[in-house]
């Protein structure tokens, strides 16, 4: 999912693969009670992937070909996006199963039902923050695909999600885009208190617009950073770009260490979005 900045309470189900914890991550993680391992898997936090990366075409094609997604429009678009991501060095790739998508939807329903354990200041920012718990696979649509991607040099996770929309689905996407714009206009800094067990934890959340390029395929670009109130350094950073074209919505997210919010990740997300849209 797109990473939700609210801290999450761990699910009572068996642990999911770390790859899929990534970005229920870009929107869901903002609300989740996550610990120090929020950045997810990844190798050494070196220079990381970059728009100038040059992964051999055969290696990139091999990574995406292993997904074996199918020939629906959402599947073709997700595979094209995954191939473009592989050229940047994101060659660890895993598609979500139907069971994992169903589990993600159930987790989202539980988060929405459990919203009373979180307080937000300013209070007016709580509704749009809760509504940020959105991603294409959470829509009540039959044709949805998610691929998680990782790189040895990035301690975090990237995610591509694509959904084919009907009328109600399109309305939900439009509402999400309005929510993201509302947060950026009115809620650049928020303080959250989350009840966990018998105690509470305080967080600071900062949001800003992604530095989209002229002619960007994205209709929305959001970067957020979540920190423990007692610490200066961000606990988690995420960047989420969303595009709608025809009957499809595409979301590309990165979450993990600070570099996930940098301009180079915006440029890669734009290229990944563009690849998906060309395949639609």
Give 56-109 as a 3 state SS string.
CHHHHHHHHHCCCCCCCHHHHHHHHHHHHHHHCCCCEEEECCHHHHHHHHHHHH
pLDDT at residue 36, rounded to an integer: 37
Percent of the chain with pLDDT over 90: 56
Instruction: Give the range among 18-22, 45-49, 215-219, 220-224 with minimum mean pLDDT.
Output: 18-22
Token pair belonging to 15? 């642990």
Q: What mean pLDDT is reported for the chain?
A: 83
pLDDT at residue 24, rounded to an integer: 47
In this structure, how many other beta carbons lie within 10 angstroms of the beta carbon of residue 50?
17
Is the predicted pLDDT of residue 112 greater than 90, yes or no?
no
pLDDT at residue 30, rounded to an integer: 59
Question: What value, to the nearest 5°, has the Cα angle with vertex 53 and ends 47 and 55?
Answer: 120
Token pair belonging to 190? 């928020």
Q: Which span out of 67-71, 170-174, 197-201 was modeled with the highest average pLDDT?
A: 170-174
| Model pLDDT for residues 127-153, shown as the tens digit of each residue | 888 888 889 999 999 999 999 999 988
The residue among 229 and 217 whose pLDDT is bigger is: 217
Is the predicted pLDDT of residue 178 greater than 70, yes or no?
yes
pLDDT at residue 182, rounded to an integer: 85
pLDDT at residue 7, rounded to an integer: 64
pLDDT at residue 226, rounded to an integer: 93
Query: Which pLDDT band, with edges at 50, 70 and 90, does 51 fall under?
Result: low
pLDDT at residue 146, rounded to an integer: 96
Is the predicted pLDDT of residue 255 greater than 90, yes or no?
yes
pLDDT at residue 10, rounded to an integer: 42
Q: How many alpha carbons fall within 13 Å on the CB side of residue 208?
A: 11
Is the predicted pLDDT of residue 4 greater than 70, yes or no?
no
pLDDT at residue 75, rounded to an integer: 96
Burial class of 181 by CB neighbour count within 10 A (0 to 12, 13 to 18, 19+): middle
Mean pLDDT of 96-102: 94
Closest alpha carbon to 1 in 196, 192, 254, 178: 254
């Amino acid at each position: 999912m797109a990473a939700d900045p609210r801290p999450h309470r761990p699910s009572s189900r068996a642990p999911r693969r770390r790859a899929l914890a990534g970005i229920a991550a870009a929107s869901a993680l903002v609300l989740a009670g996550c610990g120090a391992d929020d950045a997810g898997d990844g190798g050494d936090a070196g220079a990381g992937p970059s728009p100038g990366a040059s992964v051999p075409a055969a290696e990139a094609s091999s990574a995406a070909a292993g997904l074996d997604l199918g020939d629906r429009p959402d599947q073709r678009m997700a595979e094209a996006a995954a191939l473009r991501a592989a050229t940047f060095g994101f060659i660890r790739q895993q598609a979500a199963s139907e069971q994992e998508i169903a589990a993600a939807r159930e987790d989202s329903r539980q988060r929405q039902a459990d919203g009373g354990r979180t307080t937000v200041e300013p209070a007016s920012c709580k509704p749009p923050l809760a509504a940020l718990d959105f991603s294409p696979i959470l829509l009540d649509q039959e044709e949805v695909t998610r691929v998680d991607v990782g790189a040895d040099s990035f301690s975090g996770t990237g995610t591509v999600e694509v959904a084919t929309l009907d009328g109600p689905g399109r309305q939900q996407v439009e509402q999400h885009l309005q929510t993201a714009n509302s947060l950026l206009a009115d809620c650049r800094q928020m303080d959250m208190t989350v009840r966990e067990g018998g105690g509470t934890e305080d967080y600071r959340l900062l949001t800003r617009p992604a530095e989209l390029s002229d002619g960007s395929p994205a209709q929305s670009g959001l970067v957020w950073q979540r920190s423990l109130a007692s610490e200066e350094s961000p606990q988690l950073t995420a960047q989420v770009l969303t595009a709608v074209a025809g009957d499809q919505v595409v979301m590309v997210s990165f979450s993990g260490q600070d570099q996930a919010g940098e301009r180079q990740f915006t440029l890669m997300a734009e290229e990944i979005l563009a690849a998906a849209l060309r395949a639609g």
